Structure 1
Amino acid sequence: MLSHLHISNFAIVRALELDWQQGMTSITGETGAGKSIALDALALCLGERAEASMVRPGADKADIVASFDVSQLPGAQHWLEQQDLAMGQECIIRRVISSEGRSRGYINGVQVPAQQLKLLGQHLLSIHGQHAHQLLLKADYQRQLLDAFSQDNAPLLQCKQHWQHWQQLKREQQQLEHARQQREAQQQLLEYQVAELDQFAPGEQEFSELESEHSRLSHGQQLLCDSQQALAQLYDSDDTTIYQALSSTCQQLEQLSGLDGSLAPVQQMLAEALVQVEEASRELRHYSEKLELDPERLQLVDERMGQWLQLSRKHQISEHELYQQHQELSAQLQALSRDDARLDELALQLQQAEQDYQQSAARLTEQRQSAARELSRLISHSMHELSMHNGQFAIEVSSLPLEKGSGLGADKIDFLVCTNPGQPLQPLHKVASGGELSRISLAVQVILADQITTPTLIFDEVDVGISGPVAAGVGRLLRQLGERCQVICITHLPQVASQGHQQLFVEKYTDGQATETRIRSLSDEERVGEIARLLAGENISASALANARELLCAP
């Protein structure tokens, strides 16, 4: 609940400290005194837009601090813990507005954006303004009220999820269908290109291998002659060969190393070279014996390379990129084929998604119809208490065609009312007068506030346009609500103000130079005088005072 409010240099408030109590608090005062100023300050604390004009003239900043007891508010505690902003059983919210219009928000001393203030505010209080009855005529607001009364968000959340999934699949199908014609033309070209390359079947390293083989085959005669000549020079000639000369030199150095050991390493190197020459000779002999002149193979390799180069030019790539081009075109063709397969798969998924949505929308309809019956009964009962003795209220929930559904379900929700006996139920906007609509709106707000269990409820002149017995009924409703939660009510009606467990009085002072609003708590005797003023105006009579005492003593 709201426990304390500090306001400094806000609008026409210089400085204000207010302690708030449990139960129903009535706020009264003269017209223009600024009865709503505390609520405006609270709204700023909870993330409303800040403007430079809100700072008191002559001040450099406005400072508003609201303290809440969250010991009995698990929702607020959980939110604060999730944001690492928890501070025991108390929550302190601060909003500072500079004279230039800049603002800063704080939760338990930590600076936060205004959006965080709004999110936390949903767990702390709810403000019902005097124009709330106008919203009651809007279809979206009627649906929100009914869903809020249900107190079970699961069917609505599930319906939204199924709707979003269904729509996502439909968008994917539309995109694939839209691209189908272009895809078919592209697919025909790819099928031809891939078939041609599949038939040619280029290998990953094949062109480099073909180049090597072509070079070897085209120079076969030269390779044979030159390799045999090299072999003769090394080993196989009748004349002195490199091997023989090296062997003779090695033997000579072996003898000399016996005379001078320092020649031994040189002799060892020549011995190793002799082994290498012999091994090279064997390899060269093996190469030359195996080397064959193969003009037919050369022609085949020549033709293969020609085809390779032709395909490379056709695809406007280098010959070394042909293999990769084949792989990429094949992947593109497979992707297009997968699109077709995906369309077939989507058809089945869409059928299932539509069925899931229909089922979740039907469950949501059932929940709304059940909630509508109970809420209609409660509102009708409250209408009777508010001097609409023959009034009847009904909420009609009817299913819409599937194509008119949305993430919010497939329902048409109508608030119907009958205010006179013998008349049929008709849409709210066609039947209810301004005063009747205001009373119905108040009944709805009180019922929903009770059901939703918001810890602090603020009613800002929601009793406009009513008086007499109706006002007394409104007062009783608000007091009953105040028995279960904290209620703050700004009113100009004595029948409502007198029902408060405590009462605040708003007054405005001026010294001719500046104007200031003050708010103070009234004692029991001061309450009698203020209620009498609301009853009789400035000329308070003994009968007005007596009437005021009677109202304050009434249950």
Structure 2
Amino acid sequence: MLVHLQVRNLAVVKQLSIDFQAGMTAITGETGAGKSIALDALGLCLGDRADSDLVRSDADKAEVIASFQLSANSPAQQWLEQQELLDEDEPEHCVLRRLVTREGRSKGWINGYPVNLAQLKQLAPLLVNIHGQHEHQLLTRPEHQLLLLDSYARHQTLLQDVAAAYQHWYQLRKQQKLGLQQQEERQSRMQLVRYQVEELEQFALREGEYEELEQQHKRLSNSSALQEDSQFALNALYEGEHNNAYSLVQAALQRLEQQVGNDSALEPLVKLLSEASVQIEEAARELRHYSDAIDLDESSLVAAEQRVTQAIQLARKHQLEPQALPQLQQQLTAELEALMATETELAASDEAVQAAAKTYRATAKKLSQQRQQAAQELSEQISASMRGLNMPHGRFVVAVEHDEKAPATKLGTDQISFQVTTNPGQPLQSLAKVASGGELSRISLAIQVITAAQMTTPTLMFDEVDVGVSGATAATVGKLLRQLGQAAQVICVTHLPQVAAHAHQQMQVEKTTDGETTETRMTALDHDNRVIELARLLGGDKVTDTAKANARELLATAS
């Protein structure tokens, strides 16, 4: 709850420091005194738009500090912990600060940490719920009626389920629509890729095969020369009748071996010649095998030439090197598989979309059922409050119409209508058509009090929501707000003594001027000063003994 509010140089406020207590607090004062200044100041701390006009004329900047006491594990405390803004030394406290300069710039802090406006706005509904005096004007709007009903029903989890089901269905439909739009282009591409893959598979060039084909073609093209030269080399080395390399080495080796006994220095030479002889013999054997293996078949050369030519032609068609054809085949095969999978997915998308639609409709129907149950309870409570607010024949109905075939939205498919009758025999009609301004204000007040009681927000602020109410009805309003103050902190700006008398504590707002400057002050009233302030509200500017007596009686009765 709000425990302290400090304001400096905001509008007509020069300096304000006020403590708040639990229960119901009434803020009263003369018309034009600035009774709503506390709400305006608090609104700044909660992320309202900052304007340089808010800065007092004789100051450079305005500052507002609001201190709150938090319950353990409350939504506000959990949010602060998630955002790493919790004061670890005093986790049960939260301090908001907002600074506005003459130039219109503003800064915000939470527990001393700089924050942006969005963070203040996220935290705001977890701390305070402000009900304005013009809120009854929103009652005729269907979207606001739906918001009030859902706030009363407190089925946030189910609302999130409906929104998630809607989003899932929407995304599937979007993907399906995109898939259908691209289907003609995709099928054309798939036809081309399939032809290319079949052509490459039919040619079936292995990885590294083109390099082998080039070598084979080169060898076959020169087979005659290869055979002739290898035979010459074989004769020169080994098989020639006269003076071949092997016989000459052997002759030299025999002579040197005979001389080794005469000079041991010849031993290394003998060894080298012996090894050379072995090498020549081995080379001759390999040359013989090589020569025998040379293929002089013309058909093999033609076949190799044809395959090399086909590879070059196929590669030229795809604008790449022949050796890259196997990799291209793999890539096109993968693309073809992906295209075919997309077509399969598209064919199955109807089933997925229908399943998502079925899930959404079922979840929306469940939400509608909970809304209808909450609507019945809310209708009965508002009708009872209307009778207490001087509308003895009043009847209020929250109508929930569910259409399973209605266009899907994140909030379901329900149509909400607030209907009312205030006179006997008058049928239920739309709230905007039936209620007068005063009746609408009272109905709005009843709705705000009842729906506020269902909320988990620790502080509720009402800004002159009792406009158009007087007499016994005003006393009933005061009772409602006091009862609400038993469950939450209620701060109410009012001009009615019957309402103010029901508050657990009361504050007075005064505006003073020295002819040059104007200043607004807010003061907490003790019992005697409450009597005087209530007497002023009862009898006008002149406070008489009779008015004081009436004020004391009003206080005694209310408490």
Q: Same fold (TM over 0.5)?
A: yes
- Which aligned pairs between 1:494-509 and structure 2 lie closer than 5 A? 494-509=497-512
The alignment partner of 2:357 has SS state of helix
- Which aligned pairs between 1:194-205 and structure 2 lie closer than 5 A? 194-205=197-208
Q: Tell me if 1:95 matches 2:77.
A: no
Equivalents in 2 of 1:296, 1:73: separation in Å? 90
C-alpha spacing 1:287/1:430, structure 2 compared with 1 (3 Å): same
Equivalents in 2 of 1:254, 1:498: separation in Å? 143
Equivalents in 2 of 1:258, 1:423: separation in Å? 149
CA contact (8 A) 1:55 1:98 kept: yes
Deviation at residue 456 of structure 1 after TM alignment: 0.4
Q: Deviations over 1:158-179 (max 9, x none)?
A: 1111111111111111111111
Q: Tell me if 1:191 matches 2:181.
A: no
Equivalents in 2 of 1:266, 1:50: separation in Å? 106
Q: Deviations over 1:212-237 (max 9, x none)?
A: 11111111111111222223333433
Aligned-residue sequence identity (percent) comes to 50
Letter in 1 for 2:38: A
Over the aligned positions, Cα root-mean-square deviation in angstroms equals 2.4
- Which consecutive unaligned segments of at least 5 residues does structure 1 have? none
C-alpha spacing 1:289/1:496, structure 2 compared with 1 (3 Å): same
Q: Deviations over 1:388-434 (max 9, x none)?
A: 11100111111124242212111111111111111111111111111
Deviation at residue 316 of structure 1 after TM alignment: 3.2
CA contact (8 A) 1:361 1:410 kept: yes
Deviation at residue 274 of structure 1 after TM alignment: 5.6
- Which consecutive unaligned segments of at least 5 residues does structure 2 have? none
C-alpha spacing 1:281/1:520, structure 2 compared with 1 (3 Å): farther
Give the match for residue 542 of structure 1: 545
In the comparison of the two structures, how many residue pairs are matched? Answer: 554
Tell me which of 442, 447, 468 is aligned to 1:439.
442
Equivalents in 1 of 2:459, 2:204: separation in Å? 78
Letter in 1 for 2:81: E
Equivalents in 1 of 2:273, 2:494: separation in Å? 120
The alignment partner of 2:477 has SS state of helix
CA contact (8 A) 2:24 2:489 kept: yes
Deviation at residue 246 of structure 1 after TM alignment: 5.7
Give the match for residue 554 of structure 1: 557
Give the match for residue 33 of structure 2: 33
Greater mean alpha carbon deviation, residues 320-329 or residues 459-468: 320-329
C-alpha spacing 1:499/1:201, structure 2 compared with 1 (3 Å): same
Give the match for residue 534 of structure 2: 531
CA contact (8 A) 2:464 2:492 kept: yes
C-alpha spacing 1:209/1:504, structure 2 compared with 1 (3 Å): same
C-alpha spacing 1:238/1:174, structure 2 compared with 1 (3 Å): same
Q: Deviations over 1:70-124 (max 9, x none)?
A: 1356212211222222222111111122222222211111111121112222211
TM (norm. structure 2) is 0.93
Q: Tell me if 1:464 matches 2:467.
A: yes
Letter in 2 for 1:426: Q
Q: Deviations over 1:478-505 (max 9, x none)?
A: 1111122110001111111111111111
Greater mean alpha carbon deviation, residues 505-514 or residues 341-350: 505-514
CA contact (8 A) 1:476 1:499 kept: yes
Give the match for residue 302 of structure 1: 305
Q: Tell me if 1:290 matches 2:293.
A: yes
Letter in 2 for 1:64: V
C-alpha spacing 1:283/1:54, structure 2 compared with 1 (3 Å): farther
Deviation at residue 281 of structure 1 after TM alignment: 3.6
Equivalents in 2 of 1:71, 1:243: separation in Å? 108
CA contact (8 A) 2:365 2:404 kept: no
Tell me which of 223, 226, 230 is aligned to 1:220.
223
Greater mean alpha carbon deviation, residues 351-360 or residues 533-542: 533-542
Give the match for residue 491 of structure 1: 494
C-alpha spacing 1:478/1:285, structure 2 compared with 1 (3 Å): same
Letter in 1 for 2:16: L
Equivalents in 2 of 1:355, 1:149: separation in Å? 27
Equivalents in 2 of 1:256, 1:536: separation in Å? 150
Q: Deviations over 1:369-393 (max 9, x none)?
A: 1111101111111111111111001
Q: Tell me if 1:148 matches 2:146.
A: no
